Amino acid sequence: MTTPDISHITGDDYAFIYEPAEDSFLLLDAIESELKFLHELRCTDINPRASLVTKATGDKNGVNLQPVTTDLVSGLLPRLNGQVDVLVFNPPYVVTPSDEVSNGGIEASWAGGTNGREVIDRLLPFVPQLLSDSGVFYMVVIKENKPKDIQDILSKSGFHMTVVINRRSGPEFLSVLKFSRT
């Protein structure tokens, strides 16, 4: 799997969307290592500009993507209950003041609030509801997000966690976690 060509993304776009960085590429590496297991992804984003850029990136790279603009999974429920085979989540995970999470600016793309978990914790209750019996959930985290606590939360719903890949990026220690039903 080649690194996607993102040369079509302009400086103006980056004023509104999160610029692909180490976490983005770590997630791509994790997905690549799981390619035999994966077939087709559908992306969601709360940011309409990010959805447009995602679609354009897919088109530029010959990949059919159908982004959905919604807040986490609100536009998918209840229609997709038990229907999602692959859920990929690169959340805003940086530990920040809570007010940065919902201010609507570009910082909302990385601002995770307390423990970097405010957006993560909003999604976790929906994971068991959305995933099919054989569905898997991939998520980027940093150690400050307390991956063990996330594992404990999802294990109560019958999920097993594995770490697909780890990487240090500056001061951050990034991981891609994979959750599947036990």
Nearest to 70 by CA among 25, 130, 136: 130
Residue 14 included in any domain: no
DSSP state of 37: G
The per-residue pLDDT for range 86-113, each reduced to its tens digit, is 898 999 999 999 989 887 778 888 999 9
pLDDT number for residue 107: 86
DSSP 3-state of 86: strand
Residue 67 included in any domain: yes
- Residue 59's CB is within 10 A of a number of other CB atoms, namely 12
Binned at pLDDT 50, 70 and 90, residue 6 comes out as: confident
The CATH number linked to 123 is 3.40.50.150
Residue 4 included in any domain: no
Residue 91 included in any domain: yes
Residue 16 included in any domain: no
The per-residue pLDDT for range 18-44, each reduced to its tens digit, is 788 888 888 888 877 776 655 444 576
pLDDT number for residue 41: 45
pLDDT number for residue 77: 86
Report which of residues 78 and 161 the model is more confident about.
161
Cα distances (angstroms) measured from residue 136 to each of 45, 73, 179: 19, 15, 6
Whether pLDDT at 117 is above 80:
yes
pTM comes to 0.79
pLDDT number for residue 40: 46
Domain that holds residue 32: 21-181
Number of domain units in the chain? 1
- Mean pLDDT for the stretch of residues 137-149: 97
pLDDT number for residue 159: 98
Residue 3 included in any domain: no
Residue 9 included in any domain: no
Report how far residue 137's alpha carbon sits from residue 31's, in angstroms, rounded to the nearest whole number.
11
DSSP state of 17: S
Whether pLDDT at 3 is above 60:
yes
Residue 10 included in any domain: no
Report how far residue 150's alpha carbon sits from residue 136's, in angstroms, rounded to the nearest whole number.
15
